[in-house]
Structure 1
Amino acid sequence: MSGAAQASPAAAAPVLSQFARWVTANPLIPLLIAGSAAVALVAALWLWAGAPEYRVLYSNLNEEDGGRIISELESRAVPYELTQGGRTLLVPGDQVYKLRLQLAEQGLPQGANAGFEIMDNQAFGVSQFAEQVNFQRGLQGELASSIESLGPVSRARVHLSMAKPSVFIREREPAKASVVLTLAPGRSLGDGQVNAIVHLVSSSVPDLTMENVTVVDQNGRLLSRPGGSLGLDGSRLEYVRDIEQHYRQRIENILAPIFGSGNIRAQVAAEIDFDQREETSERYTPNQDGRPAAVRSEHRNTDFDGNPQAIGGIPGALTNTPPGAAASPIDSGSDDNGEDEQNEESAEDKGRLRKEQLINYELDRSITHIQRQRGQILRLSAAVVVNYREAPSEEGGTEWVPLSEDELQHVQNLVRQAMGYSAERGDSLQVVNSLFAPEEEAQPREILWYKDPFWQRLLLMLARYLLAGLAVLILFRWVLRALADLYARAKSSSAATHTAPAALPQNAGASEQVNSESEVQEEEEPPPPRRRRRSSAYEQNLRELQEMAKEDPAMVAMIVRSWINRDD
């Protein structure tokens, strides 16, 4: 193998040398090669300068949509380019919007998320399980498409675990969801946007709470916060900023007509209670002022201990007749002993009667249930700085003088009313009168014209055509002209070589005659530049031959003899 490798360059050397001699022996060959190269270069520059500018038609395409769009472009004979691994499609810039509208009419791109359209062509005998699976797939696709409509989200996938119903409450499994987001390069989601995605998913799926929704990005970072605290930090800060800006705006609005908007600076700090409380209280009020109480329940019990026969009797009117009026104890005397004994005997016959009565009265009771919402203002702190007022000076001009105590008190009262000052809440207010530093005039930001996209595209197009024209000029001015001169010189040298025997002078007078004739011709009619260069080369060769004949006539004679023999 090594011998063959060493022999190949040695074998190629004679071929290359022979080709070089062939090229040098034929002056037209370099001219043809250079001309072909020049034409190819000009054509390449012209095509490059006239090539259309490609712009992005669609990016982040999946394989299915990319194939359909490419087939549609090929059917319309539209040139296109694929970049970023086939995920970005480029077309000529002047056809971008037209193609988007035409492809949208064809329903392209469809997207990788299959929505409820998968249920349009269901078979007649599909089972309930298959129908439920298709419904879940459609819901996942619709949610993913809705999430992808957000600006920072490039792609989204949603996984749902539907709730399983059961007649037993303990065995019921709640619905759960997981969302995987692919964010655009350099973009991120705020807490409010993550909270919005969680609300969107939880509101679209039955029996799905926010605590059971998990959001993850393409890097594996958990964007949602468990425990129902989704986005509370961001919403809290935003709520506090809104409250502070609201009160600051109220203070500035009430003082600006008096001192001017540039002479007031106000800042408000708000302490907000974000705790959520629920209170339930029950109070009992005693019955006062002798008001009758409402009876809730009443229980009576009567016990009789005695001779049951004494109680009995013949049913009828006599038995139900009430007893007579009892004798007054004041009127009873010692003369009525017989009657007293009779009464005692009657009491013994009747026995003992006991009665029990239990009455429950309704108490005056009040039940209060208070649910305190989060976001209540606990305390406000305001600081207001007022500039000196402008007053005429004794010298006839104007000067800045501080406010008086009455004016400061007036300002403080206005601010208290504007902010809703509450001493019970612990609000604080500080009003300061100070001279403001002169404001520096903001320099207008100069917009550089060469950073404008319009001018950048225009300059790029002009640079293309200018470069193409410059290349053509250089090619025809130096390359082709040098090749033409080389060809003329080679032709003149060959002509001088063939005419050298006839041109050998017999004496000096002949050469002088030739020179004089050439000078006369030059004086009579000046030849064109190319013929002039050719004649000057001929004269130079002729002089060299004359000098050679003078110095070494034997060699010249030998050369002429060889020419004669070759012609024979």
Structure 2
Amino acid sequence: MAEPTSVLSDVRLQFQDFFGALSLPKRITILAALGIILIGMVSMIFVANRSSWAPLFSNVEPGDAAAIVEKLQENQIPYMLAPGGRTIMVEPHRVDHARLTLAKEKVLPGSGVGFLDLFATPSLGETEFQQGVKFRVAQEGELARLISTINVVKSAKVSLAIPQKTLFSDNQVEPTAAIALNLTSSGASRKQIETIVHLVASAVEGLSPRNVKITDQTGTLLSRGISDDSAGGKMNDNYSYKSRLEKELEAKVVRQIEEVVGKDRVRVNVSATLRFDRRTIKEQLIDPDQTSVVSEQIVDESSTGTRSIPVGPAGVTTNLPEATGREAATVSEFSKKNSTRNFESSRREIILESAVGEVVRLSVSVLLDNRRSQILDESGNSLGRTNTPWTEGEKETIIGLVKAAMGYNEERGDRVFVGNMPFEAAVEEDKASEIEATRVRNKFILDVVRYVALGLSAKRN
């Protein structure tokens, strides 16, 4: 058995012979390849032995990042900052422990300052202004936390401007709110923005939705057009209701007409004019022919006996008992009646309140394809389709069907138009049918010619 030293010596001699036989460029190439392999192996060993890092928090605000780093240092948790300082990384096995520790210290990113944080340790001797500032800061923190719970919001910053109350309401300044959102890549929908606006407006006393402004990380104003009554939302709801009504009417008319003209042979378009404002009409009806007694007063006076009635010229002398030159007149019975009646005509009051979304007018246009019937030969093969317009009488019948399906109201000013034109798709279908019919006809002619030729050939033989 050969000794190890001799084996190594033989290998070395063989390598020297092999390497010495190579030209200089080949020697350089081999040495470079060996160097690259050696560097790669060293790099792999270095990377394998180096500690790996996992992201603890990403896209963190600078203020939150500084607070988090400070707490990590206090708790002796190794960390590393990515370029830009907005991503904090720790060792993978320390991620959960670090997050729990930071949650205990209340320094999670975007957590802000809430009521519990400010009032956990009450201090004595604070002025009313300091208490107001603390309350406002706590409100901002709580609102930021609330908004951050929405799935499309990474973080939120809320700033409130709440003026002091004045004695006179005319001089009172309305509070305002500014919200900066850090959104995900999917962004926020219109309804989500309206939800945030009304959440903030409901949480702050006296804050109107029109005074809430929202922007995203790109500086785009997202709350444009949102008012107290959510006019944008109402407009969208009104448009949705109008579109839904039109689609329902179109479907009803199409189902009715397709029974006559065939499937996919009719196109219907409905335009509805709706009234979304609420109206109240008060009307009083007075009938002069129908009257009733409202009040009646009857005075009846009567007396029986003798009493004197002054006669003679008027004056003091005539009324004296011993006056001369007069005669007393007597009366034995006196009666007086007075009757007063108050009448009033019949009156009726009617209050009409229109519903929101009332139909003011409907306009329906119907486009019919030409009548298309199969043309068959004696063998039952299709030779194409007819292309016949509908007659005026047939269109009048269709108009009646449309009016019945749409709920036509002439007093409302509804309009119905029925037109007749060949559809492009049907024309293309007819062309394809004609081509197929031509092919069948040519095949039939060729078969006839072939059979005739075979018959003549057999007859000759």
Query: Where on the TM-score scale, by shorter chain, does this alignment land: which range?
Result: 0.5 to 0.7
For 1:39-188, what aligned pairs fall within 5 Å after superposition?
Answer: 39-44=38-43, 58-63=57-62, 65-66=64-65, 82-83=82-83, 85-88=84-87, 103=99, 107=103, 109-118=108-117, 121-123=120-122, 125=124, 129=128, 133-150=133-150, 153=153, 155-162=155-162, 170=169, 173=172, 175-182=174-181, 184=183
Equivalent residue, structure 2, for 1:459: none
Q: 1:293 aligned to 2:275?
A: no
Rounded Cα–Cα distance in structure 2 between residues aligned with 1:112 and 1:403: 72
- Measure how far apart 1:250 and its partner are: 3.7
Rounded Cα–Cα distance in structure 2 between residues aligned with 1:409 and 1:57: 75
Alpha carbons of 1:326 and 1:263: their partners in 2 closer, same or farther (altered >3 Å)?
A: farther
Q: Which residue identity does 1:62 align to in structure 2? A: E
- Measure how far apart 1:186 and its partner are: 7.2
Q: Which residue identity does 2:404 align to in structure 1? A: Q
- Measure how far apart 1:293 and its partner are: 1.4
Q: 1:430 aligned to 2:417?
A: yes
Q: Which residue identity does 1:324 align to in structure 2? A: T
Q: Which residue identity does 1:42 align to in structure 2? A: M
- What's the CA shift string for 1:457-503, capped at 9, x where partnerless? xxxxxxxxxxxxxxxxxxxxxxxxxxxxxxxxxxxxxxxxxxxxxxx
Secondary structure at the aligned position of 1:323 is classed as strand
Rounded Cα–Cα distance in structure 2 between residues aligned with 1:54 and 1:413: 77
Q: Which residue identity does 2:418 align to in structure 1? A: V
By percentage of residues, which structure has more strand? 2
- What's the CA shift string for 1:194-217, capped at 9, x where partnerless? 444333333333333334434455
Q: Which runs of 5+ in 1 are unaligned?
A: 1-29, 301-321, 328-339, 441-568
Q: Which residue identity does 1:342 align to in structure 2? A: A
Rounded Cα–Cα distance in structure 2 between residues aligned with 1:428 and 1:194: 40
Secondary structure at the aligned position of 1:266 is classed as strand
Pick one of 306, 317, 342 that aligns with 2:328.
Answer: 342
Alpha carbons of 1:227 and 1:199: their partners in 2 closer, same or farther (altered >3 Å)?
A: closer
- Measure how far apart 1:324 and its partner are: 0.9
Alpha carbons of 1:40 and 1:430: their partners in 2 closer, same or farther (altered >3 Å)?
A: same
Q: Which runs of 5+ in 2 are unaligned?
A: 1-28, 308-325, 429-461
Rounded Cα–Cα distance in structure 1 between residues aligned with 2:76 and 2:267: 64
- Measure how far apart 1:424 and its partner are: 2.2
Rounded Cα–Cα distance in structure 2 between residues aligned with 1:80 and 1:254: 72
- Whether the aligned pair in 1 keeps the contact of 2:55 and 2:88 (CA below 8 Å) is yes
> Over aligned residues, Cα RMSD in angstroms?
5.8
Alpha carbons of 1:411 and 1:100: their partners in 2 closer, same or farther (altered >3 Å)?
A: farther
Secondary structure at the aligned position of 1:377 is classed as strand
Secondary structure at the aligned position of 1:324 is classed as strand
TM-score (norm 2): 0.56
Equivalent residue, structure 2, for 1:480: none
- Whether the aligned pair in 2 keeps the contact of 1:251 and 1:418 (CA below 8 Å) is yes
Higher Rg: 1
Alpha carbons of 1:105 and 1:53: their partners in 2 closer, same or farther (altered >3 Å)?
A: closer
Rounded Cα–Cα distance in structure 2 between residues aligned with 1:407 and 1:102: 81
Q: 1:247 aligned to 2:249?
A: yes
Q: Which residue identity does 2:246 align to in structure 1? A: E
- What's the CA shift string for 1:350-398, capped at 9, x where partnerless? 9xxx999999888876666666566443322223334456643222244
- Measure how far apart 1:435 and its partner are: 4.0
Equivalent residue, structure 1, for 2:439: none
Secondary structure at the aligned position of 2:362 is classed as strand
Rounded Cα–Cα distance in structure 1 between residues aligned with 2:270 and 2:225: 31
TM-score (norm 1): 0.47
Alpha carbons of 1:115 and 1:272: their partners in 2 closer, same or farther (altered >3 Å)?
A: farther
- Whether the aligned pair in 2 keeps the contact of 1:153 and 1:182 (CA below 8 Å) is yes
Equivalent residue, structure 1, for 2:403: 416
- Whether the aligned pair in 1 keeps the contact of 2:68 and 2:102 (CA below 8 Å) is no
Secondary structure at the aligned position of 2:292 is classed as coil
**RCO greater where, 1 or 2, for CA within 8 Å and sep 6 or more?**
1
- What's the CA shift string for 1:213-253, capped at 9, x where partnerless? 34455637484348757426555544443343343344445
Alpha carbons of 1:184 and 1:119: their partners in 2 closer, same or farther (altered >3 Å)?
A: closer
Equivalent residue, structure 1, for 2:273: 271
Q: Which residue identity does 1:285 align to in structure 2? A: I
Pick one of 341, 361, 385 that aligns with 1:379.
Answer: 361
Task: Count residues with an aligned counterpart.
Answer: 367
- What's the CA shift string for 1:412-462, capped at 9, x where partnerless? 44433333332222222233444434499xxxxxxxxxxxxxxxxxxxxxx
- What's the CA shift string for 1:156-177, capped at 9, x where partnerless? 33333457667x6645736422
Equivalent residue, structure 2, for 1:484: none
- Whether the aligned pair in 2 keeps the contact of 1:174 and 1:207 (CA below 8 Å) is no
Rounded Cα–Cα distance in structure 1 between residues aligned with 2:420 and 2:113: 66
- What's the CA shift string for 1:111-153, capped at 9, x where partnerless? 2433343356142758694555444333333333344455665
- What's the CA shift string for 1:279-317, capped at 9, x where partnerless? 56463736753412158xx9x9xxxxxxxxxxxxxxxxx
- What's the CA shift string for 1:314-355, capped at 9, x where partnerless? xxxxxxxx831699xxxxxxxxxxxx95347999xx9xxx99
